[in-house]
Amino acid sequence: MSVETATVIEVTNVSRWYGNVVAVNDVTFSLGPGITGLLGPNGAGKSTILHMLAGFLKPSAGSVQIAGEPVWRNSERLYRSAGLVPEREAVYGFMTGYEFVFLNAQLHGLADPVEATRRALSAVGMEHAEKRKLGGYSKGMKQRIKIASAIVHDPQVLLLDEPFNGTDPGQRLEMMELLRQMAADGKTIVFSSHILEEVERLAEQVLVIVAGRLAASGDFRAIRKLMTDRPHVFTLASSDNRRFAQALVGDESVIAVELGKNDLTVRTAQFSEFVRVAPRIAKEQQITLRELIPTDESLESVFSYLVNR
Amino acid sequence: MNFAIFRLTVRELTGQRRMLLMLLLAAVPVLLSIIYSLGDKIDHPDWTAGMLTTVVVTVVLPLICLILGTSALGSEIEDGTVVYILAKPVPRLQIVTAKFAAAALVSAVLVVPATAISGVVSMSGVPAEGLAAGFTLGVAFGVLAYTALFLLLSLVTSRALLFGLVYVFVWEGLLTNLFDAVAYVSIRQYCLGIADAVATVGPEDLDADLAGGVALALVVVVTIAALYFATRRLETLELSESE
């Protein structure tokens, strides 16, 4: 299977439904070498898309191709040049780390499975625990050994489902560095995450999935800007809410102010500017600012904005 | 067959606590035979045929094959570890045959010697009449058919154990006694047919409804058909997600 072409992964008008429930709705994208983050809240359809990319779910409509070949019922060819890190934590608990990675090397039919196993364990920094049983591994260690098993055959395409779950910050940085290195070597890496910061730190391209739809795709910085520049809602409480509302309305960063019984609700298009300006205005007006809380900073609300914009 | 998957499966099946339970199950006919041989020892062939039929062929053999056959792939599908085998450039037929071979081997190691030993012990001191040999052969072939069938069942339904129990105790245990034609779709009857072909006691002693040749042919057909459909099923198996 050749992966020389610029487009490695091609998803065309793909939908997937379970009975009456639509999990993925008419999604189209194409990806080349580099790191792509599949971002979305839990239950958005990221795993469904990743499962279809991995050949473990048949699209109800549309087509999924990797390196120009259909994925469904083609695992034998697909996994000669692809690797998969599943989200589920389960591993063969009775095996040692070394045995597990070695098994994967054997199943790939590698000429030198011992050397490949050593290399993969070294890449994820797990040589120190290679003789321990997987059943005794922490969640982060299991994630790393799963990655080692997925890269043991040096795949051109690597699919990872929530790969940083359970890892500590240090391990996360090391794994990110490993993936960056693989991307620099021309590999195509797709990982799913529901954590914005993970995607921000690692992905060059991002696909934002919300409620089964592709809400946004492309360069991460452009999408991040969209997310940042959207209207934000704050709840404020002060010593004189009415006077504070009057003063805030005069500032350019404020779109609207609503006076409540004990607080103020302020809408702004400039998140960081408002956070800077509000205390200053309060000081100028000699008003005590008791509370300044962003009310809609959940990832879901960010994604909802992207869908509805 | 893929030997890496075969070795993995043997380790999975033998390294668990349920193995102790199955060892105890396999020891039941041996213990019964020892107790019998220590007693009055009246009517050896009748007792031996009855015990091997009701204890080994009707209960021990299908139960052990059911547990191991449905676990070989079913447990991995249930806990998600099957992905490490499926996400590899390994043909599905190789996966199915390796899983089948491992489960059949472990089942055979448990049941076949137990059958032979209990047959020999209970017939000690009298002419063997081919009973121990017949049942041992019948059980060995039964292992193949049962294991293949239960492996397929684990790929078709997540309640393979329940459906397997219904097949063994309702279909084979009840319906074969009511309708003769059911013998053609009863692995228990295949075992008895093969045992009867080897043993020199009358067929009425073994309750066999099928001739030995027919039984053997049906074992081959059921085993191959089950493995074929298991492979086809594995090719289109969809893994549910965790999110």
> What is the band of A215 on the pLDDT scale with cuts at 50, 70, 90?
confident
A301 burial class (0-12, 13-18, 19+ CB within 10 angstroms)? Answer: middle
Mean predicted confidence (pLDDT) in A205-220: 88
Nearest to B198, CA basis, from B119, B104, B98, B114: B119
Quickly tell me which residue has 């081919």 as its tokens.
Answer: B130
Alpha-carbon torsion (B229, B231, B232, B233), positive or negative: positive
Interface of A with B (CB under 8 A): 42-43, 46-48, 51, 54, 56-58, 73, 75-77, 79-80, 82-84, 86-88, 90-92, 94-95, 103-104, 106-109, 149-150
pLDDT recorded at residue B241: 54
Q: Which uninterrupted H or E stretch holds B73?
A: helix B61-79
pLDDT recorded at residue A303: 66
Least confident segment among A114-123, A148-157, B115-124: B115-124
Residues 50-79 of B with CB under 8 A from A: 79
Q: Which uninterrupted H or E stretch holds A196?
A: helix A196-202
pLDDT recorded at residue A304: 64
Instruction: Please say if the pLDDT value at position A265 is more than 70.
Output: yes
Note whether B196 contacts A: Cβ–Cβ < 8 A. no
pLDDT recorded at residue B243: 37
* A:B CB pairs within 8 Å: 80
pLDDT recorded at residue A200: 81
Note whether B238 contacts A: Cβ–Cβ < 8 A. yes
Main-chain phi, psi angles of A289, to 5 degrees = -90, 115
pLDDT recorded at residue A301: 62
Angle at the Cα of B64 from the Cα atoms of B60 and B67, rounded to 5 degrees: 140
pLDDT recorded at residue A299: 57
Instruction: Please say if the pLDDT value at position A300 is more than 70.
Output: no
- Are B115 and B20 contacting, i.e. CB atoms less than 8 angstroms apart? no
Contacts of B226 (CB under 8 A, 6+ apart): B145, B148, B149, B151, B152
Q: From chain B, pick out residues whose CB is under 8 angstroms from the CB of A212.
A: none
Q: From chain A, pick out residues whose CB is under 8 angstroms from the CB of B99.
A: none
pLDDT in tens, A40-98: 888 889 999 999 999 999 999 999 999 999 999 999 999 999 999 999 889 999 999 99
To test the contact with chain A by mutation, choose from B10, B241, B242 the residue with the greatest count of A C-beta atoms within 10 A, namely B241
Distance from CA of A77 to the nearest CA of B (A): 6
pTM as predicted: 0.85
Q: Nearest by CB to B81, which of A46, A92, A109?
A: A92
The per-residue pLDDT of chain B, averaged, comes to 91
ipTM value for the complex: 0.90
pLDDT in tens, B134-153: 999 999 999 999 999 999 99
Instruction: Please say if the pLDDT value at position B168 is more than 70.
Output: yes
Distance from CA of A201 to the nearest CA of B (A): 23
Percent above pLDDT 90 for chain B: 74
> What is the band of B28 on the pLDDT scale with cuts at 50, 70, 90?
very high
pLDDT recorded at residue B129: 79
Contact B88 A107 (CB under 8 A): yes
Distance from CA of A82 to the nearest CA of B (A): 9
Percent above pLDDT 70 for chain A: 92
Mean predicted confidence (pLDDT) in A10-35: 94
Note whether B86 contacts A: Cβ–Cβ < 8 A. yes
- Are B52 and B45 contacting, i.e. CB atoms less than 8 angstroms apart? no
Instruction: Please say if the pLDDT value at position A146 is more than 80.
Output: yes
Mean predicted confidence (pLDDT) in B218-242: 92
pLDDT recorded at residue A306: 66
Contact A103 B8 (CB under 8 A): yes
Instruction: Please say if the pLDDT value at position A3 is more than 50.
Output: no
Mean predicted confidence (pLDDT) in A5-27: 91
Q: Nearest by CB to A58, which of B4, B85, B238?
A: B238
Least confident segment among A42-56, A105-119, A263-277, B26-40: A263-277
What residue of B is the nearest CA neighbor of A81? B89
Mean predicted confidence (pLDDT) in B209-224: 95
pLDDT recorded at residue A4: 44
Instruction: Please say if the pLDDT value at position A113 is more than 80.
Output: yes
pLDDT recorded at residue A118: 97
Sheet containing strand A264-268, edge to edge, reads A254-259, A264-268, A232-238, A289-294
Least confident segment among A131-140, A288-297, B28-37: A288-297
Contact B83 A56 (CB under 8 A): yes
Q: From chain A, pick out residues whose CB is under 8 angstroms from the CB of B79.
A: 88, 90
Question: CA dihedral in degrees (A70, A154, A6, A48; nearest 10)?
Answer: 50
Note whether B46 contacts A: Cβ–Cβ < 8 A. no
